[in-house]
Amino acid sequence: MKILATVKKVVDVELNIHVKDGAIVEDGLQYVINAWDENAVEACIRLKENNNAETTLVSIGVEDNTDIIRKCYAMGIDNAIHINDPALADADSSVFAKVLQKVCENGNYDLVITGKQAQDTDSGQTGIMLAEALQVPCVSNVIALEVTDDQHVKVSRLGDAGTEIVELELPAVVTVSDSINEPRLPAMRGIMMAKKKKINVMDLQALGTSIDEIRGDSPKSEIIEFMKSETRKAGQKFEGDAAEITAKVVDLLANEAKVL
Amino acid sequence: MAKVLVIADIKLGVLKSSTAELLSKARAIGAETAVLAIGSDIESLIPDLVNAGSDTQYIADDPGLELFSAGPYASCVVDAANQFNANLIWFGFSESGKAAAPRVAAQLSAACATEITDVEIEGGKIKVTRPAIANKVMQKILVNTEQLVAVVRAGAFEAKEGIKGTQNIVKLAAPEPDLKAVIKELVSDASGEIDLADADVVISVGRGARDQAGVDLVKELASDLKAGFGSSRAMVDGGFMAHNKQVGQTGKIVAPTLYIAIGISGAIQHLAGMNGSKVILAVNKDPEAPIFNVADYGIVGDLFEVVPILREQIKKIKS
Ligand SMILES: Cc1cc2nc3c(=O)[nH]c(=O)nc-3n(C[C@H](O)[C@H](O)[C@H](O)COP(=O)(O)OP(=O)(O)OC[C@H]3O[C@@H](n4cnc5c(N)ncnc54)[C@H](O)[C@@H]3O)c2cc1C
Ligand SMILES: Nc1ncnc2c1ncn2[C@@H]1O[C@H](COP(=O)(O)O)[C@@H](O)[C@H]1O
């Protein structure tokens, strides 16, 4: 069984992010592996351990992705592909999905595991659009995954009315929630080995395609402006005698905010 | 004129408030409106669909649609979008909407945007606003295609009272089942508890509550207030709360009138799920907890001491 995990390098959301003149201020930003993709990588490695799967990761991005790829190698991923092409600098989910489609067509993976969402876009589209492009089944927001036989996996998905248990015929795409697992910390041995492993870096041409084939002549949509988010202001905070301040706050909720 | 197709948000046979909110917004931008209801045995919802403000009602009613399956669900949407000639296709914020929207967009070769908070149409061009990077920034997006498929963020649009649509029913053919993604079972969470997504008051419990006894204590406050009872991820990971009770980026996004966070530090992933609430009250023993940066009212104190007093005081004021 061949499995592909998709891994994006994203801005570290724990740090402050500033916006100036409609753009994000690059100064001081740091980039990390997308949190949900760590869950995808962990899910892959568990399938390697339990089902003898061969694991590959692919990361698309115009920056140096060596650090996050090494981290995934250290966790236990077998192979890594980095698609790096300047034409992809402003790509969105629909474009990444088409690039991933090419990667999948070249690699014949039985199962693709993506994160449910990238922390920089918060869009949650790429994996689902990839499945559409490949014309294979897909379940998103997966919280449990199990191989039933050579041709099937059984997944649990957190849906609106409860947990949906779905049997998927392979090849398939799943997008995973962080509830699926706890990503492991790489062991020292893994970190040492990771340094020696090769990364297969390719541009679109090497992948057998071009930006025109991937995207057409214009993107479906484009970000024209970044704005500050409307941050809430800190309100009234009370310290002191619990009985007194709690009574005060209940009074404010009822008579000032009028929400009780 | 813009044409908006709203996908009705139906849960356990009930039409959710987001449907009227989205239709109100559609009318506010001067669009022609249609609604699509997908499910099994849903004819009885037709009056509600009209009252929510739709002028055409597409109905996909089939026993095969009882359980959610993204493939057939998306097929119904594409069918209705084509028949109505919709240029805006809107889902309310739901897991089914999030799963279906990218499929529909791919099938229509349309642009797709999730969690939108605003829409403008200027000289025939669609522009939408949405948060990104865990709500740390907002983006304005220009749509280059004629159609946009979007998921609207919870609480983004308001329902206007007194808007009624007209009845014009179009029945859709049943879609093909997805034989490659077969739903085996739905482990329902219809526990009779108040649905977080549309509760007027939501109370969430965090790691500060420590254990089951702490969770139960906070739960009593929630029952007093007939509030939805949610949780941070820490208490879900700890096994004290069910997955579907998690509020935040991975869990539910809620926008109630009053949100009460008890023993929750206020990690950005949690804030991203509740900072659209009208009023926020936080109880936390650490005066520096980040939750206080977004709370309208903050009580610095030990929840085990504060929660019983809160219950008492609220009972007093309500009687
Ligand atoms: C990809 C990703 C997705 C995530 N998605 C979510 C999500 O959807 N929802 C979510 O909630 N989290 C999510 N998280 C986790 C998030 O980052 C935090 O770890 C989590 O929200 C912390 O939960 P908490 O506030 O309950 O716990 P903690 O951060 O441990 O905070 C506990 C708080 O309780 C206070 N406290 C302790 N004892 C008392 C007492 N006796 N009385 C009063 N206060 C007390 C402490 O001062 C502290 O502020 C996500 C993380 C990642 C990486
Ligand atoms: N540039 C990329 N490289 C690799 N994987 C990606 C990339 N963009 C998106 N993905 C995958 O698709 C998921 C969803 O991304 P998004 O649609 O942007 O929310 C992510 O969690 C990744 O697993």
Amino acid at B190: A
Q: Do A239 and B96 touch (CB under 8 A)?
A: no
Residue minimizing CA distance to atom 6 of ligand 2: A8
Per CB-CB distance under 8 Å, the chain B contacts of A254 are: 317
Whole-Å CA distances, B205 to A235, B218, B252, B273, B298: 20, 7, 14, 14, 15
Q: Do B145 and A234 touch (CB under 8 A)?
A: no
Looking at the CA of residue A34, tell me the nearest atom of ligand 2.
21
User: According to the model, what pLDDT value does residue B319 have?
Assistant: 85
Burial of A171 (0-12, 13-18, 19+ CB in 10 A): buried
Rg (CA), chain A: 22
Whether B1 contacts chain A with CB within 8 A: no
Longest dimension (CA), chain A: 71
Per CB-CB distance under 8 Å, the chain A contacts of B106 are: 94, 97, 128-129, 132-133
Q: In the sheet that B169-171 helps form, which strands lie side by side, from edge to edge?
A: B111-116, B148-152, B88-91, B3-7, B32-39, B57-61, B169-171
User: According to the model, what pLDDT value does residue B190 have?
Assistant: 65
Dihedrals phi, psi of B183, to nearest 5 degrees:
-80, 120
Predicted confidence (pLDDT) at residue A56 exceeds the cutoff of 70:
yes
Dist. CA A85–CA A206, nearest whole Å: 10
CA A85 / ligand 2 centre spacing (Å): 16
ipTM: 0.96
In a domain, A232, yes or no: no
Q: How far is CA B6 from the centre of its chain?
A: 14
User: According to the model, what pLDDT value does residue A161 have?
Assistant: 87
In a domain, A227, yes or no: no
pLDDT, tens digit only, all 319 positions of chain B:
899 999 999 988 899 999 999 999 999 999 999 999 999 999 999 999 999 999 999 999 999 999 999 999 999 999 999 999 999 999 999 999 999 999 999 999 999 999 999 999 988 899 999 999 999 999 999 999 999 999 999 999 999 888 899 999 999 999 999 999 999 999 987 667 788 887 999 999 999 999 999 999 999 999 999 999 999 999 999 999 998 899 999 999 999 999 999 999 999 999 999 999 999 999 999 999 999 999 999 999 999 999 999 999 999 998 8
Residues with Cβ within 8 Å of residue A155, at least 6 apart in sequence: A139, A142, A144, A145, A146, A165, A166, A168, A174
In a domain, A44, yes or no: yes
Tally of structural domains, chain A: 1
In a domain, A238, yes or no: no
Nearest to A170 by CA among A24, A47, A14, A30: A47
Find the helix or strand (DSSP H, E) in which A178 lies. none
Query: Which CATH number does the domain housing residue A184 bear?
Result: 3.40.50.620
Which 8-state DSSP code applies to residue B252?
A: B
Dist. CA A16–CA A224, nearest whole Å: 21
Domain that residue A111 falls in: 2-215
Residue with tokens 């909720």: A253
Whether B309 contacts chain A with CB within 8 A: yes
Ligand 1 pocket test target in B221, B232, B246, B305 with most atoms within 8 Å of CB? B232
Whether B140 contacts chain A with CB within 8 A: yes
Distance from CA of A67 to the nearest CA of B (A): 21
State if residue A93 touches ligand 2 by the CB under 6 angstroms criterion.
yes
Q: How far is CA B35 from the centre of its chain?
A: 17
Nearest to B101 by CA among B139, B73, B143: B73
Distance from CA of A190 to the nearest CA of B (A): 27
Q: How far is CA B47 from the centre of its chain?
A: 22
Predicted confidence (pLDDT) at residue A256 exceeds the cutoff of 70:
yes
Q: How many CA atoms lie within 13 A of B317 on its CB side?
A: 21
State if residue B285 touches ligand 1 by the CB under 6 angstroms criterion.
yes
Q: Which B-chain residues 249-288 have CB contacts (< 8 A) with chain A? A: 249-250, 257-258, 268, 275, 278-281, 287
Which 8-state DSSP code applies to residue B119?
A: E
CA A31 / ligand 2 centre spacing (Å): 14
Amino acid at B50: V
Q: Do B184 and A239 touch (CB under 8 A)?
A: no
- For A57-106, how does the pLDDT look when each residue is reduced to its tens digit (9 = 90+)? 999 999 999 999 999 999 999 999 999 999 999 899 999 999 999 999 99
Per CB-CB distance under 8 Å, the chain B contacts of A157 are: 95
Q: Is the dihedral of CA B204, A18, A221, B122 positive or negative?
A: positive
User: According to the model, what pLDDT value does residue A217 have?
Assistant: 78
Contact A25, A78 (CB under 8 A): no
A80: left (phi over 0), alpha (psi -120 to 50) or beta: beta
- Across the strands, what pairs with A55? A3
Chain A residue with Cα closest to B177: A137
Tally of CB atoms within 10 A around A184? 15
Q: Which ligand is nearest to the CA of B267?
A: 1
Mean pLDDT of chain A: 96
Q: Do B127 and A224 touch (CB under 8 A)?
A: yes
Whole-Å CA distances, A225 to A106, A232, B110, B119, B155: 36, 21, 21, 14, 23
Residue with tokens 């049943």: B174
Q: Which ligand is nearest to the CA of B245?
A: 1
User: According to the model, what pLDDT value does residue B197 have?
Assistant: 82
Q: Do A159 and B96 touch (CB under 8 A)?
A: yes
Chain A residue with Cα closest to B14: A161
- For A171-221, how does the pLDDT look when each residue is reduced to its tens digit (9 = 90+)? 999 999 999 999 999 989 899 999 999 999 999 999 999 999 999 878 999
C-beta pairs of B232-236 under 8 Å, 24+ apart in sequence: B232/B204, B232/B205, B232/B206, B232/B207, B232/B264, B232/B265, B232/B267, B232/B270, B233/A178, B233/B269, B233/B270, B234/B206, B234/B207, B235/B205, B235/B206, B235/B207, B235/B209, B236/A179
- For A23-41, how does the pLDDT look when each residue is reduced to its tens digit (9 = 90+)? 999 999 999 999 999 999 9
Dist. CA B148–CA B145, nearest whole Å: 7
Domain extents in chain B:
3-171, 201-318
Residue minimizing CA distance to atom 14 of ligand 2: A117
Distance from CA of B12 to the nearest CA of A (A): 7
Contact A91, A84 (CB under 8 A): no
Q: Does CATH place domain B3-171 in 3.40.50.620? A: yes
CA B92 / ligand 1 centre spacing (Å): 27
- For A96-136, how does the pLDDT look when each residue is reduced to its tens digit (9 = 90+)? 999 999 999 999 999 999 999 999 999 999 999 999 999 99
Dist. CA B57–CA B40, nearest whole Å: 15
CATH of B201-318 among 1.20.1090.10, 3.40.50.1220, 3.60.20.10, 3.40.50.620: 3.40.50.1220
